[in-house]
Amino acid sequence: MLKKTMTWTVAMIALVAVATAAMTADEILDRMEEEADRLNEGSMVGTMRFDITYRDGTTSERLFGMLSIPDFALIYFIEPTDVAGTIFLTHEIDEGDDSRMWLYLPLLGIPKEFVSDEERGGSFAGSSMSYDDLGGGNERDDFVATLLGEEDLVIGDETRTAYVIESVAKDGVDTDTPRSVVWVDTDGFIMLRAESYNDLGNLSSTVEVVALTEFDGMLTFAEMLSTDVLDESSTLITVVERHRPDAEIGSDVFSPDGLTTFDPAAWGF
């Protein structure tokens, strides 16, 4: 009798543990955001490359320098030479609100703030990604997230297990992407894949991690492929290098008024 009682007790403890450990879709997305915030703590300097393939099969390459601190990011255009010196600046503001964005063009000599959806939705550097993709705000409150299950994804030479989460726009929300599906790594809680669908229900774009690495002991992507399904173009984003600088970067570096005197050589660009 004691043995039977103990067996039932252990079984009940196991069931309670499973129930307690189970995560909702929103909890998984919260954890993903927390991991992203951890990665972006402090200052970071790096370079990234875009390899762009257009609908007609032609290709081009872009090289950028990156600076970031929490809530601020600056992308400096290094190559090709005809766009060198262009700067894209983003400021995150209150959670749930759109970020503020500026584009500085050396020929104009003044930064222009993006205020319209059309400006924010424009192609970033001719790639398959928009300015909003790189610096947009958090719109999770406009969607209902549902955990669909788990799925294994092959990335490079390893297999990763991911939570599969569907997000559907709430009634009355005006959005170009009323439905999306995201795959979140069950261990590192980073996004491994995402699909976006338009208001006709058609797949419009995908983002997928194709190579993983670690930075400061945290799992992150080394290469990511962004595909505009409707335009039949794609961009392979490669993180060439990233590091923590010897001293923290001051917020004044991210001032729109300071873009005219930004010195790329000071950051190795």
Question: What are the extents of the domains in the chain?
Answer: 31-263
Condensed to tens digits (0 to 9), the pLDDT of residues 133-174 reads 887 656 788 999 999 999 999 999 999 999 999 999 999 998
What is the pLDDT at residue 233?
95
What is the pLDDT at residue 21?
55
- CA distances 77 to 50, 104, 147, 259, 268, Å, are 11, 10, 39, 13, 13
Give kind and range of the element (H or E) at residue 82: none
Q: Is the distance from CB of 209 to CB of 226 less than 8 angstroms?
A: no
CB atoms within 10 A of CB 263: 8
The residue type of 210 is V
What is the pLDDT at residue 133?
84
What is the pLDDT at residue 175?
87
Identify the three-state secondary structure at position 171. coil
Ranges in the chain, pLDDT < 50: 1-20
What is the pLDDT at residue 5?
36
Residue 78 sits at the vertex; the CA angle it makes with 244 and 211, to the nearest 5 degrees, is 60
31-263 to CATH, choices 1.20.1430.10, 1.10.490.10, 2.50.20.10, 1.10.2020.10? 2.50.20.10
Spatial CB neighbours of 60, under 8 Å, sequence gap ≥ 6: 52, 54, 80, 126
Enter the pTM of the model. Answer: 0.85
